[in-house]
Every structure is written in structure tokens, then in C-alpha cells.
Amino acid sequence: MVKAEGTQALARSRRRSCSRRGAAQKMKNLLHNIGSSASGTLVSRLLGFLRDVVIARMFGAGLATDAFFVAFRIPNLFRRLFAEGSFALAFVPVLSATRQRGDVAEVRELLDSITGVLLAALLLITAAGVLLAPLLIQLFAPGFADSDPRQALATEMLRVTFPYLLLISLTALSGGILNTWGRFWIPAVTPALLNLSLICAALLLAPALAVPIKALAWGVLLAGFLQLAFQLPTLQRLGLLPRPRWRPAHAGVRRIMRLMLPTLFGSSVAQVNLLLDTIIASMLLAGSVSWLYYADRLFEFPVGVFGVALSTVILPRLASAAGGQRGQAGEHANDAGFTATLQWAMRLAWLISVPAAVGLLVLATPVLQTLFQYGRFAASDTAMSSMALQAYTLGLPAVIAVKVLAPGFYARQDTATPVRFAIISMASNMLLNVLFVLLLLQVFAAGDDSVGNAGWLQRLAQTPGLHLGLALASAAAAWINMSLLWQRLRWLGWWRKPDGWGAFLLRVLAMSVVMGLLLGWLAAQPWCQAGLQGIWWQRVATLLLLVMSGVVVYAAAGFACGLRLHWLSRPDAPQRPEAPSNQTRR
């Protein structure tokens, strides 16, 4: 009897051990996939910075570049709304659920059907966009009057760039398939081809054209073909290359279309928010729009490289754990795996986003000096952009946390809840924009007699620093959005706080503060200030030294606090250093 009980206990222990090893291996795979996606995105982002430098040197800022940016912005806006926004978020969970059922024929039928319907819709939209190009230019750029040469030039280039929407949407479809099958690096690095295409067009094609700026429009179109062609061979090797079929009544297609509606509205919310910020910024001191733009470019770097990679990788995993169904807590057999993946992703998000935020907060001015303070970008511009970047940075952990929490809803095909919270966040942002700008106006204009008796619109346009209020509002709105998503996940039972979660967060914060203090001390040293004021390579070398010092100190502080790197591959990673067991083996 005793022997039988011992054998059963040993068997249970072995099963638990195998289960933990299996879960740990899955988390190692996720960590590898995040690294693959982030590395591909990093390549694309760095080439994006190089693209901006080349375009600025070749074409400067004037009528021609204004026309190109409008002609490129229109298909790019639709790409963000449809291809990389609503469609991807609706398509991947449905495809994951179909794959989970194990019927290869059903998977291929879904791929063929959705490709056929998507292709037909894109052909109609593209034809309409090319035909209605003059109307679209008037809608998106009302400042381009009929007599303005930019209108005709922008219309001509839009007819070249608009088909990019068709090609990039099919590329997004291919990328969604590859992500579902665990091939993350190829979709992540694909956007780099757009930057390479534009760089080559500016350097090689532009000198041969009568209107050099048109080379960039042709570069955009060429990039669409290159990006799609880059992904097709991998789909072919996986046996997943779709054969378009017109089947709008297919159950999977109808499910994707229903899920797209709320996500499409959610994507629109973000764009409307950006538009409103721009409108308010245009009412402030001249330069405010540019200061916010440069600050946002740097803020989006860690979000794009790490946050988007984390979100992209965990969505198929969460969809698989959720069984591709929508339901309440306890309804799924694999709820434990779903919760473990969310907890693991949140640990990783905080472990990286908090020190990144502290680092940007302390090094905002050195980073801007190194990247942008040349030529017409003066030290005063660096100071104003630095204010905005520091304010944006306060919301960085929340923005990256949203990238983790929102897929928890999308994976269960609940697209309505994140959109509802995004609308609340947008309304909060609008209200806080006005509130913070007016409060800062009272503070900054209090001792300035030159604007004290002017009307409030004139005071807005003459008082420096008010753009800080817009950045602060964006950071606060991100925390509101994150809090709503987290509380809803807890209420549904899809998020359960692991043991020691508060101690883990306090440790990460302490490590980040130690790193920030060291960076602040180093940045204030005379040799560092001299390096940041030198020529470009001296600035880059000094900044890299500061960044590497911060990484080393953060890692050392983490080791001293008891955190270990191998915990990242464990879904049940301890939040406190493990105490040695006093029990002896029997």
C-alpha cells in the first residue's frame, strides 16, 4: 500500500516536472521569436533613419518634398488602418483557431478564400484611388490650392504610389500567415525593403529624371513588389501559398470581416488622436509640430523594436492557448497556459520598458544632440524636443504593456473591448491636451509681460514650451488605457497576479533608478559634455559609451537583486531569490 502510494506520488512529480520543462521550452521559443522579430524591426528602423537623412540631403524641405510626403502619406494611412491594423488583428486569431483543429484542407480553403476576397476588394479600392487622386489630394491637403504647383505634382505622384496599398496589404496577409507558423524574422525585416528602395531611388534614379522627386514615388511602388516577392518563397516552402478564390460566404471570411469592424474603428481612433494633436500643436509657437515629431520618432523606436515584436510574437501563442474561441474564465482547458504567457510577457515588458524609459528620460538631450543637432537644428530646438521626449517617455512602460494586454483580448476574438478602451483613452487624451496646455500657459506666461495682455490665441502662439502639455497628455492617456485593459483581464479571470509581483516591480524600479543616477552623473562630466558638442563621430562614440554603461550597470544591479537571465525562459519564474531547500532526499 505504502509502496503503491509512493509510486503514484513519484509519477505525479515526474508529470509536473515534464510539464514545467515543456512550458519552459515554449517560453524559450517565444524569447527566441521575440529576438528574431525585434532584430528584423531594428534593421528596418535604422534604415528608416538613414532614409530620412538621404531624403533631407537630396531634396531638402520645399514644395517638391511637401507634394511627395502627401502622396506617400495617403496610401500609408490606409495601410496602417487596414493592412497592419484591423486585418492583421482579425486574421491571425481566426487562422490560429483553424490551424489548431488540424485540418490542412480547411486551412488552405480559408487562405484561398480570404486571399480572393481581399484581392478583389483591393483592386476596386486601388482603381478608385487612382481615378480620384485629385479629390484625395484636396481632402488630405486642403492647403494645396488649384494654382499651387504642389497639387498637380502630388496628384501625379499619388497615382504612382496608391497601388502600393494593394501590394502591402497582400504582404500583410503573407506576414500574418508566417507569424502564425512561427516565422517572425521575415515579416519583421520586410519593411526594410521600403527604406532601401527609397534610398536607391533617391541616389540612382532621381538624377536621371526631369523632376527628381518623382523618383521617390516610383521607389514606393517598387518597394511594394519587393516586399511581397520577399515573403512568397517562404510561403511556398511551407505549402501555404494561397490560390485566390472568390468565396465571400466562407465562414472564416465572414468571421474575419466581423472582427475587422471594431479593430478598424480602433485603428481610426489612433489616427484621429494624432490628427487632433497636430491641429492643437499648429496653434502653438512655431516649431511645436517639429519638436513633437522628432521626440515621437525617438519615443517610437523602443516601442517599434521591442513592443511591436512582443505583441506580434505572443498573439499566435495566446490564440493557440485560448483555442481560438471567445469565452469567460474557466471555459477553456488551456487557460493556465494563456495566463502563464501573459504573465511572462508582462515580466519581460516591465524588465525592458522601465529602464528604457529611465534611460530616455536622463539621456533625452544627448540623444537629440547626437542625431539631429546639425545645420538648422539649433540647440534651442534640441531643448524643446528634449522636453517633449521626456514627457512622452513617462508613458513608455504603459504603451508597451498595452502591446501585451490587448492581444489577450484579440486572441479570444474579443476585438470590441480594446476598441472601447481606446475610445476612452482618446477622449481622455483630448481633454488632458486642453487642460495641460492651459495650465502650462498660466505657468509659463505668468511673468511674461509681452504676452500678458494678448488674447488667449495669441498667447498660445507666443508662449514657448506649451507642446509639453500634449506629450504629457499622451503619456497619461497610455496609462489610462493600460489600467482599463489590465482591470478587465483580471475581472474575466484571464490575468492572475503571480506571487511576488510587487517585489519584482520594486526591484526593477530600483535597478532602473541606480542606472539613471549613474547616467546622469556621467552625462554631467566635462569630458562627456565636450564629446556631445564635438563632430558627429565624437557624439556617436560618447552616446554609445553612455548607453553601454547604463546596460552594464542595470545588468549588475539586477544580478545583485537576485534576478537571473534564465528566468526569462520560465513561465513560473520566481520573483524572489530561491532559498535553498532544507529537505533531504529520501
Tell me: the pLDDT tens digits for 337-367? 788 888 888 989 999 999 999 999 999 999 9
In this prediction, residue 484 carries a pLDDT of 96
Q: Where residue 8 falls among pLDDT bands split at 50, 70, 90?
A: low
For residues 333, 335, 341 and 345, what is the CA-based torsion angle, rounded to 10 degrees? 160
- Residue 108's pLDDT is 92
Q: 415 near 263, Cβ under 8 Å?
A: yes
Question: Residue 391's pLDDT is what?
Answer: 96
Q: What is the CB neighbour count within 10 angstroms for residue 557?
A: 20
| C-alpha cell read off for 480 | 489610462
Question: How high is the mean pLDDT of the chain?
Answer: 82
Helices 2-59, 192-200: inter-axial angle, 10-degree rounding: 20
Highest mean pLDDT range out of 83-97, 250-264, 478-492? Answer: 478-492
Asked if the model's pLDDT at residue 499 lies above 90, the reply is no
Evaluate the CA torsion angle 407, 408, 414, 420 in order and state its sign.
Answer: negative
What does the domain layout of the chain look like in residue ranges?
Answer: 50-248
Residue 299 and residue 396 in contact, taking contact as beta carbons nearer than 8 Å: yes
Q: What is the pLDDT of residues 504-548, one digit of tens each?
A: 899 999 999 999 999 999 999 999 999 999 998 899 999 999 999
pLDDT at position 582, please? Answer: 42
Question: Between the CA atoms of 454, 460, 464 and 469, what dihedral angle is there, to the nearest 10 degrees?
Answer: 140
**Rounded to 10 degrees, what is the CA torsion of 362, 364, 366, 370?**
150
Residues near 305 by beta carbon (within 8 Å), at least 6 away in sequence: 38, 41, 42, 45
User: DSSP class of residue 306?
Assistant: I
Q: Are 256 and 94 in contact (CB under 8 A)?
A: yes
Instruction: Answer for the pair 486, 497: CB distance below 8 angstroms, yes or no.
Output: no
User: Which of the pair, 463 or 161, is modelled with greater confidence?
Assistant: 161
Taking 90 as the threshold, does the pLDDT of residue 154 lie above it? no
pLDDT at position 7 over 50 = yes
Rounded-to-integer distance, Cα 230 and Cα 251, Å: 30
pLDDT, tens only, 186-202: 988 898 999 999 999 99
Predicted local confidence at residue 174, as pLDDT: 93
Give the span between the Cα atoms of 560 and 45, in whole angstroms: 33
| pLDDT given for residue 14 in this prediction | 55
Q: How far apart are CA 93 and CA 406, in angstroms?
A: 13
pLDDT of 546-583, one tens digit each? 999 999 999 999 888 877 665 565 544 444 444 444 43
Q: Fill in the DSSP letter of residue 414.
A: -
Q: Is the pLDDT of residue 427 over 70?
A: yes
* CA–CA separation, 481 and 395 (whole Å): 11
Across 117-130, average pLDDT: 93
pLDDT of residue 586: 35
- Express as a percent the part of the chain with pLDDT over 90: 40
Q: Comparing 210 with 282, which gets the higher pLDDT?
A: 210
Helices 149-161 and 214-238: crossing angle, nearest 10°? 20
Q: Are 110 and 94 in contact (CB under 8 A)?
A: yes
Q: Is the pLDDT of residue 433 over 80?
A: yes
User: By mean pLDDT, which of 92-106, 374-388, 428-442, 448-462 is the weakest?
Assistant: 448-462
Residue 149 φ/ψ, nearest 5 degrees? -65, -20
State residue 176 phi and psi, 5-degree precision. Answer: -65, -40
Q: What Å distances lie between residue 355 and 397, 476, 511, 563, CA to CA?
A: 9, 19, 8, 15
**Residue pair 470/433 in contact by the 8 Å Cβ criterion:** yes
Determine the pLDDT at residue 206: 93
